[in-house]
Structure 1
C-alpha cells in the first residue's frame, strides 16, 4: 500500500483556490454602504444605472447554493471551489470576477479595512500554510454590523465542507485575513 496519493491530497486541497490566474476583466460595479441587513448596493455592468442589484438579491442568490459540495476546481452547482463559487454567483448578475483567489488582490485598486466591510465585498484569506501569506481562500460578505461579519464560501474543511456561511469573528479566519476587495 502506498501513502503517496494520501500525502498529496492535503497539498492539492490547500492549492485549490490559488491556482494560476485566468484572464478576466476588472469589475466595475459600485457598492454602497451596507447595514446589518442586506440593502441596495451592487449595480451589475449590464443594467441601466437606474436599476440596482440589491444586497438582498445578491445574498439570496448566493444562499441558494448552501450545502453544495466542494469540488476542487469546481465552478458549477454540481460542485464549487471557493473562487469558482464566487465567480458563479457574480456572473449571474453579469459581473466579471477572476477565476482564482490569487488574482483578486492584484486586480483591485482599493484596499478596504475589515472595519469598513460591506455586503457584497469579497473577503480574501491566506491558504492554510502558515509559512506563506499568499491568497488561498475567499468568500462573499453577507452580513455586517456591530461585532457581526458573516461570509459565504465554498470550504474544503472537514467541519464545514461545501458552500457554507461562516461567522468571521467566531472562526479561525481572522488570523488568515489578507484583504477585503470592494467590488466596484
Structure 2
C-alpha cells in the first residue's frame, strides 16, 4: 500500500513509497500550492530525524523528498495583526522572511502591499513596530512606491538600512478582498 505524507507547512513534501514517481512529486507539489517550481526527487535519505512521520516507514520504504523554499522572493505577508488584513509587513528575500523599515513609509507603500495580497486598494500605513517587532533581516528601507506598482519589491527602495526592528512597518488593508479584476 502506498503511504504518502504531505507536510506543506514545513515546506517539505515527503513521499514514503518505494514506487514514488516524479509525477507523484509534481502532484503533491501542486496540492501544496507550488506551481512554479521544478519538482525534484532526492536520493535515498539515510536518516529521517527531521522527517518525523517517515521514521516508522524507514526500514520498509524508500524515502524521497522535495525541499521547497520557505517563501518566494518578492512575496509579502502580514504578521502580528489581530486578523488577516493587518500586520507587520514581511517580504521574502533570498528565500527567507524579513521586515521593512518604516522610513518614508506611507499610504502609497501600504496600498501596494494590500493590492499584492489581493485586497482593495484602501490601506493605512503603521509605523514604529505597531504590530510588534520582527526578527531576522530588515530587507527593505526607504520604500517609495508611487501606488501604481503591483508588487512591493518593484517599488524604489534601499537594501542597506539604518533601522532596527522597532522601526518595522505595518499596514491595515480594507477588509474585503478583490477576487477578480476587470
Q: Normalising by the residue count of structure 2, what TM-score does the alignment of the two structures yield?
A: 0.24
Q: If each structure's helix is expressed as a fraction of its own residues, which one has the higher value?
A: 1
The structure, 1 or 2, with the larger RCO (C-alpha pairs under 8 Å, 6+ apart) is: 1
Q: Normalising by the residue count of structure 1, what TM-score does the alignment of the two structures yield?
A: 0.24
